[in-house]
Structure 1
Amino acid sequence: MTQPKQRLLSLDFFRGLTVAAMILVNNPGSWSHIYAPLEHAEWNGCTPTDLVFPFFLWIVGVSIAFAMSSSKADPSTHKKTILKAIKRGLTLYFLGFFLAIFGKLLNDPAHALQTVRLLGVLQRIGIVFIISSIIFLKASQKTIFKTLIIILAVYWALLTFVPVPGVGYPNLEKETSLAAWIDRGILTEPHIWASSKTWDPEGVLSTLPAIGTCLFGILVGIWMRRKDVDNPTKVAWLFSAGVAAIILGLLWDLQLPINKALWTSSYVLYAGGLASVALALCYWIIDVQGYKKFTTPFVVYGVNAITVFFLAGLMPRVLNLIQVTNPDGTKTGILVRFYETCYAPFFSPINASLVWAITYVLGFYVLLYIMYKKNIIIKV
């Protein structure tokens, strides 16, 4: 007999908070005017914005442990569950691919296919989800932990000891690292992140430690599901493990810098540790102590996380296809014109950009709240 799936309100809250933050930082009114904490680090280092994506992948791992535990206990269901995971992962990949090619395809289909970015946020989530789900189903907790350690160690060794062809020495720079060389070789420059064309922040090699981030979350999910451990012990151990991972990440940063674009091993530990501490606090406050009234806005985001992330990426692409004529005769996307008319004149540039982003988050909240009240949950 299979056990019913557990659901943590704190996990839905944490997921929703993370997705709302993703939408906030991805949709400023102007990319030229952004508060520092809402920007990514230039290269090495970590801002609050740099924690958003790893938090989400870590949460995916926790969710895998909760959603697939009953299947893991019954090997006869593994094939069905893996096929379902592959289908879901491919759906995520193609949603990301659709966002990357949308708009370009309408203007010049041939050029769009020749230059579309092959990897991205949703694509990485899909790939990581498939691989991590298979590992969870087929490996023991001890093996998952060992796999995480091996991934971090191998990736560290690849970045710091393998000479980069054409460069001659290992390095961690944007355009000359091993990760950048592999991206150019496998993806080719026309299909790499448009802002660089020489390296991709969601590239091929850096997907390996991203899987490590998800496995970190899976280990936490396994711990949180245990029936033989009381809640105070769960929280204490999770909090302690999180702090230990943060310290290890910061120590490793002295030799291997914390870097989101490279998704360095130190970054995996640092971000995973902070996520563990955050979930420990949320779990204690929400699920154990029962303080739930304040959670609704973010739970609303959490239960339809992928849906709102996709729509938030699609909406500006669609609306900016509608061009309006400026007084000087030039044409501008309607969303850009709306920002320049209704926001930019009434605030300082940086505050106008922030208010726009907040409006964007609140606007989607209205839609998600209606869906939540009607119990509409779109599962990708």
Structure 2
Amino acid sequence: MTKPITRLLSVDVFRAVTMLFMIFVNELSGAKGIPGWIDHVEAEVDGMGFADTIFPAFLFIVGLSIPLAIEHKWHKGATFTQIFLHILYRGFALLLMGVYQVNMDSYDKNNWFPRPLWAILATLSFFLIWLNYKPSISKTVKTVLIIVGICHAGCPCPYIQRPS
């Protein structure tokens, strides 16, 4: 009998801290009066700020996490095809969420919802669509929640003005 794979707390903590710092430096970017060491160093300057260390940390933890995740799926009995399809599905989900999040700044003021409300609803939609639902939730409830998430995420599209 094989020993069950356990999560590595150090990897989870490093991932969480990296994500926290990513949000922190992105929100501070362009703000006035922040200490110089926190922000990105200008391209023509030979140096490195705190913000310049976050993306390499992110790449490191992603590179460390992927083999662990694949090993965990193998251990649970997934086939190569299942793992490959899961990677494609997760990649598509991340790209779609990225498109919505990156374009939040171009949200039209004449849209269906106020921008802050739409941003909250779009983020909630992502949770409804890609949440790892507990097995105790019925398939019908899960399907309804996913459909609700899809309906909001795509309609009304944030870049289409409401009719006058």
Q: Is the aligned partner of 1:39 residue 2:39?
A: yes
Contact 1:4 1:70 in 2 (8 A): no
Unaligned runs of 5+ in 2: 119-130, 133-164
TM-score if structure 1 supplies the norm length? 0.27
Deviation at 1:59, TM superposition (A): 0.7
Amino acid at match of 1:87: Y
Partner of 2:141: none
Partner of 2:60: 58
Contact 1:2 1:70 in 2 (8 A): no
Deviation at 1:30, TM superposition (A): 6.2
| Larger gyration radius, structure 1 or structure 2 | 1
Partner of 1:7: 7
Q: Distance in 1 between matches of 2:33 and 2:116?
A: 22
Contact 1:18 1:52 in 2 (8 A): yes
TM-score if structure 2 supplies the norm length? 0.57
Which structure: greater helix fraction?
1
Q: Is the aligned partner of 1:27 residue 2:27?
A: yes
Q: Distance in 2 between matches of 1:58 and 1:319?
A: 33
Deviation at 1:76, TM superposition (A): 7.0
Contact 2:40 2:52 in 1 (8 A): yes
CA deviations 1:137-175 (Å, max 9, x no partner) are xxxxxxxxxxxxxxxxxxxxxxxxxxxxxxxxxxxxxxx
Pairwise mapping of residues 59-138 of structure 1 onto structure 2 (< 5 A)?
Answer: 59-71=61-73, 77-107=79-109
Partner of 2:121: none
CA pair 69-3 structure 1, distance change in 2 beyond 3 A:
farther
Contact 2:5 2:75 in 1 (8 A): no
CA pair 12-76 structure 1, distance change in 2 beyond 3 A:
closer
Contact 1:71 1:78 in 2 (8 A): no
Q: Distance in 2 between matches of 1:98 and 1:82?
A: 25
Deviation at 1:84, TM superposition (A): 0.5
Tell which has more relative contact order, 1 or 2 (C-alpha 8 A, sep 6+): 1
Pairwise mapping of residues 177-196 of structure 1 onto structure 2 (< 5 A)?
Answer: none
Deviation at 1:29, TM superposition (A): 9.0
Amino acid at match of 2:28: P
Deviation at 1:77, TM superposition (A): 0.6
Q: Distance in 2 between matches of 1:65 and 1:16?
A: 18
Q: Distance in 2 between matches of 1:28 and 1:48?
A: 12
